[in-house]
Amino acid sequence: MEIIRTTAWMKQIARDARVKERILGLVPTMGALHEGHLSLVREAQKQCSPVVVSIFVNPAQFGPNEDFKKYPRTFDADLAALEDLRVDYVFAPPPEEIYPPGFRTAVAVEGLGDVLEERVRPGHFRGVTTVVLKLFEIAQPRSAFFGRKDAQQARIIRQMAVDLNLDAEIVVCPIVREADGLALSSRNAYLKGAERQAATALYRSLDAARDEIAKGERDAAHLIATMRGVLDAEPGVALDYAEIIDGDTFEPVVSLRKTCYALVAARVGATRLIDNALIEQQGDSFRVNV
């Protein structure tokens, strides 16, 4: 496994892969790797060779009062986990490689990037799309792998890839959960004591909505009330939002149709968590993937 620190060398690796007609896959991460990240790596290895995992804690996607300075950084452990998986390359540039002096450019996806998470974290997606586009240009992946837990992010990146005629195929992989349903997240490391149990309320709210849908419920307001009821009943959980939205436009829906998401975001103590369920119509019924 080779660790790459400069954009110039990463671009050379990408050029060599193209010349040899190899299918390069990219797994963008901010490090603090967990099984969710590693599941993306395994999927990338099924489809691509070589595989590049980027580790870069992107300052541009953190707001002034967010957790950039204390965001978990476990670089040595990350390298050990990737070594075990026999990853080909780790691209771990210092900030000045991505944002050199005089850097002025940003990428924004209008509409999709103006709702939900963006209302709570202004400027967040502009930082995400800018760094992802840079990673795509540097590594030139044939496929790039993202987790469905960040559903709005994945949708925005797909739109960016379409709008800018990018060559990378965006592959969105299932959420990986703990045994009690908590979606894996690097920020779970912040949860202490009773907060860890309280955090399962996000999953339980989605599971409750799934039960209602299985009983035939299609009304979005009813499903939102069901999710809110679970979250409001859990001490220590402060709800940011619970929504049922169209899977393409990310606009609210009145009743379930085709493809939707149930989205929840909440603070557990000082830790902000997000989760979602994918709702897909199959004939007269709906399948809910939590």
Residues 21 and 137 in one domain: yes
Is residue 152 domain-shared with residue 194, that is, in the same domain? no
Condensed to tens digits (0 to 9), the pLDDT of residues 228-250 reads 999 999 999 999 999 999 999 99
- For the entire predicted model, the pTM comes to 0.96
Query: Average pLDDT for residues 212-225, to the nearest whole number?
Result: 98
Helix (H, G, I), strand (E, B) or coil at 172: strand
In a domain, 95, yes or no: yes
Reported as a single tens digit per residue, the pLDDT across 100-121 is 999 999 999 999 888 999 999 9
> DSSP 3-state assignment of 140?
coil
Concatenate the DSSP letters of all residues of 200-267 into one string. THHHHHHHHHHHHHHTT--BHHHHHHHHHHHHHTSTTEEEEEEEEEETTT--B-SB--SEEEEEEEEE
Question: Are residue 122 and residue 151 in the same domain, yes or no?
Answer: yes
Average pLDDT of the chain is: 97
Residues 84 and 96: their CA atoms lie apart, in Å, by 29
Question: Do residues 145 and 194 both lie within one domain?
Answer: no
Let me know whether 156 and 43 are in one domain.
Answer: yes
Last residue of a domain, one of 146, 173, 200: 173
Of 114, 141, 173, which marks where a domain is finished? 173
Domain of residue 52 covers: 2-173
**Which of 97, 129, 96 minimizes the C-alpha distance to 114?**
129
**The predicted structure's pLDDT at residue 184:** 98
Domain-ending residue, one of 139, 173, 207: 173
What would the pLDDT profile of 262-289 be if each residue is shown by its tens digit?
Answer: 999 999 999 999 999 999 999 989 999 9
Kindly state whether residues 203 and 100 are assigned to the same domain. no
What is the per-residue pLDDT for 230? 98
34 is catalytic: no
Tally the domains of the chain: 2
